[in-house]
Structure 1
């Protein structure tokens, strides 16, 4: 019983807090905790996930964040997170410059407001199956013989801070300078991305380099090869 002068506190306060923390997952009938992340099954046959992934790719392209326009291929995996609406965590395979790439995206959706926003879009962090020994520039360590062991064929993402990658970038920059008529030297600002393919007799690096020449910043796509005897060669380099 309330005494004179006391203010009544709504009885439903606790219930309101509970409703904020516990939201109903209508697709399964289960109750999901706010902020909890759940896997989405059978993404390969989900038109909803495809539409969200295409939205993410299109939005990313419209911002001019990539040198090459990305082309949607498929959704690799998807998870949902209950927020004020739903946050979709997507891993998307795209085609970039003719090569397959993986990106992680976050798309925030509030259906009752017809709201959809790309919160994040970045290259997926995938562990490389290559070691420094595979990349072949450690003293006394030969390149992996692909017939017997080592990583599977094809280009794979490798760390941009790997010493082998850095040496490949330096070789590309050296050859670029030699072929240039400019008296101003090229400086390496950043190795934006790096992939490598290990073969029986060599390793090929596919690099995206950000360079500086005076006050001018440029991007170059370079492919550098290293043979089993340690010889470097620049296969091609072009401005992006």
Structure 2
């Protein structure tokens, strides 16, 4: 029993050390590199805007629809799937006025599902 406990602690330490060496804490967010050329991330950004527009069409709040430009920043986190935190550049449909949004979407590839959890206007980052 004691040998099993020591082995499990060692295994946990090894996994945590390797995860940290690969750029993140287990369960922590990691930056997605080369976002502008990452087709999966850009497709997720487009999906988020499409979902937002679909909800706007079905509500009576009068908000304007958006056109997708690109994902400009992304982070991901392994949860029960992969949770993506995206900063999406859009334009108000027909006016070309640019607007950024922060989106959170969870992807579960083994069941072929995506779910938009949050889509809100970005707040300006504080200047350093």
The TM-score normalised by the length of structure 1 is 0.41
Report the Cα distance in structure 1 between the residues aligned to 2:40 and 2:84, rounded to whole angstroms: 11
Of the three residues 77, 86, 105, the one matched with 2:73 is 77
Distance 1:72 1:91 in 2: 11
1:43 to 26, 32, 35: 35
How far apart, CA to CA, are the structure 2 residues paired with 1:72 and 1:101? 10
User: Considering only CA atoms, is the larger Rg found in Structure 1 or Structure 2?
Assistant: 1
Runs of 4+ in 1 over 2 A off after TM superposition: 11-15, 29-35
Number of aligned positions between the proteins: 115
Query: Displacement of 1:60 after TM fit?
Result: 1.1
Give the distance between the partners of 1:31 and 1:14, measured in 2 at CA: 23
Name the CA shift for 1:31/1:102 in 2 (closer, same or farther; >3 Å): closer
The Cα shift of 1:127 comes to 4.8
- The answer as to whether partners of 2:27 and 2:77 remain within 8 angstroms in 1 is yes
Higher RCO by CA contacts (8 Å cutoff, separation 6 or greater): 2
Q: RMSD of the TM alignment (CA)?
A: 3.2
Distance 1:125 1:31, change over 3 A: closer
Normalized per residue, the structure richer in helix is 2
Matched, 1:91 2:83: no
Q: Is the 8 A contact 1:33 1:82 kept in 2?
A: no
Equivalent residue number for residue 118 of structure 2: 120
CA offset at residue 18 of structure 1? 3.6
Aligned to 1:102: 100
Give the stretch that moved more between structures: 87-96 or 119-128.
119-128
Change (3 A) 1:45 1:39: same
Superposition map of 1:153-232 within 5 A: none
Gaps of 5+ in 2: none
More strand by share: 1
Kindly tell me: are residues 127 and 34 of structure 1, through their superposed partners in 2, closer, same or farther at Cα, counting changes over 3 Å? closer
Please tell me whether the aligned partners of residues 90 and 100 of structure 2 are also in contact (alpha carbons under 8 angstroms). yes
Partner SS, residue 64 of structure 2: coil
The answer to whether the Cα contact below 8 Å between 2:23 and 2:30 also exists between their aligned partners in 1 is no
Q: Verify: 1:57 aligned to 2:49, yes or no.
A: yes
